[in-house]
Structure 1
Amino acid sequence: MLLAGFVALTAALANGHLLDLDLAVSEWAFTHDPAPLYWTARAFNLLGQGGGLLLPLSGALAVAVAWRRRTIRPFLLVAGALLITMVTIGPLKLWTDRAAPTASVKEPFLAPEEAVQVFNHLPAGAYSMSYPSGHVANAIVWYGVIALLLVSLTVGRLPAGLYRLVRYAPPGILLVTTTYLNFHWLTDGLAALLLGLLLDRLLHRVPWDDLPLPGHLRQWDGPFARHR
């Protein structure tokens, strides 16, 4: 269903549907950006920094879980998340060739009706990697990894409310902030939700505790996804 939804949304945009919605939301955001609200949104948008926050935090938690549970398996999860995001999100951005809303107010100064197009033919050097939103899709995947590692680190004692907060709040915040800041069109974020949830579901279906390891690593072969 998630894959079908992503394909359907992409096809709708390619056929000119929902572009008026994207333009209307973007225009509203451009005209409603008082400094306090703008800078608050910029601060919350830092939750989606992959190399500056999500990967280092996931790596640090993997080290902590590996040490506590005497297993290298948390690193398999982190590596899997890194691989699955790299081979999907980036290539899709290149393939769909969509400009960001800000392309209408800075280089290459496209008309909004041109910038919003999917499968565009943008000038050389123009930013053309807006669809889907990497911030949102990465957040779903990496905060899912972080939540799982926190559950493992606390041996299943992480409060359910805190788990849900870590798991779901950052992607929702990033959907709002990236759209409000005109870093992305609204449908960039909606597509990223579908793609991110699909990637997250695939990651959580992998039996991380049961994957075979080489003989010399079996002394650090304990489970980590199972709480005890």
Structure 2
Amino acid sequence: MQLTRTVRQIAGLTPRPVRPAGWWLDGVLLVATAALTLALANGLFLDTDIAVRDWVDSHRPEAAYWTARVFNFLGQGGWLLMPVAGLLAAALAWRSRSVRPALVFAGGFLITYATIGPMKLLLHRGYPHNEDVAHPERLFSDPTEHAYPSGHVANAIVWYGVITLLLAGLLRHLHRPDVSPAVYRTIRVAPPAIVFCTTTYLGFHWITDSIAGFLLGLLLSRLLSRVPWDDLPLPALPNGFDRPAIFNQPAAPVEKPTPVS
């Protein structure tokens, strides 16, 4: 207990608030992810996965297929979500003259690659239409495939959270009116929900892949949201580039008095 207090005193950091508050939901998400993984490893829910796959395969007309394909691009991390977040981070870093926006981007990158990737590599589940193995729905079925959990869904939840955080900071530094909280909620919720549905509907992932991606992505997003980016200790950088940039409200520009003729 004394060590914990000492570490907190040295760090001097206070986690930022999240909704719902407290760590109870994080614990529920972690336990639920572990429980679902354990259940799948023991053969539970596999019939449900197969039933959902077969149903969507038989209810996918061409128009619905192409519509879902287009909307599924909202979950493309490598060439959509990360570039958008990177551009916002660069714009905010330039406007605020601070490196801290880059830390937000790096945090999103590291937390996804340190969790989602290893799970996929360790559990190597086959994809729904893998015909090379007898039972692709099982965990450890194919060491060449990595369906579980859905990276599309988990990445969408994390990266849209990063995007809204950087966007809010950039609007403040541009001295532009902030958008309503409802807009931010829509950005954070609607694209991941669409990716969840389209990824499953297109048969790219088993339904339990998407559920696990949702649980894990929400957990990671809550962890990132707690980070006090402006208070993280940094070495003194030239020109004050270690200054706060994410949450602070910059001073309004001073208007020069108009000369009286």
Pair 1:116–1:201, CA change in 2 (3 A): same
Tell me the matched-pair count: 218
Deviation at 1:145, TM superposition (A): 0.1
**Aligned residue number for residue 94 of structure 2:** 67
**Aligned residue number for residue 81 of structure 1:** 108
Supply the distance in 2 between the matched residues of 1:26 and 1:225 (Cα, whole angstroms): 43
Q: Superposition pairs for residues 71-110 of structure 1, below 5 Å?
A: 71-104=98-131, 108=132, 110=133
Q: Say if 2:154 is the partner of 1:137.
A: yes
In the alignment, is the contact (CA less than 8 A) between 1:130 and 1:188 conserved in 2? yes
Structure 2: gaps (5+ residues): 1-27, 250-261
**Aligned residue number for residue 64 of structure 2:** 37
The one-character-per-residue Cα deviations of 1:14-70 (angstroms, maximum 9, x if unpaired) are 111111111111001111111110000000011111111011100100111112222
Q: Say if 2:220 is the partner of 1:193.
A: no
The one-character-per-residue Cα deviations of 1:96-148 (angstroms, maximum 9, x if unpaired) are 110010214xxx2x34xx0110122x2x6x4x200000000001110000011
Deviation at 1:87, TM superposition (A): 1.1
AA partner of residue 211 (structure 1): L
Cα RMSD of the aligned pairs, angstroms, is 1.4
Deviation at 1:214, TM superposition (A): 2.0
Aligned-residue sequence identity (percent) comes to: 54
**Aligned residue number for residue 140 of structure 2:** 119
Structure 1: gaps (5+ residues): none
In the alignment, is the contact (CA less than 8 A) between 2:235 and 2:242 conserved in 1? no
TM-score by length of 2: 0.80
Larger Rg: 2
Supply the distance in 2 between the matched residues of 1:8 and 1:224 (Cα, whole angstroms): 39
Pair 1:61–1:176, CA change in 2 (3 A): same
TM-score by length of 1: 0.91
Which has the larger share of helix? 1
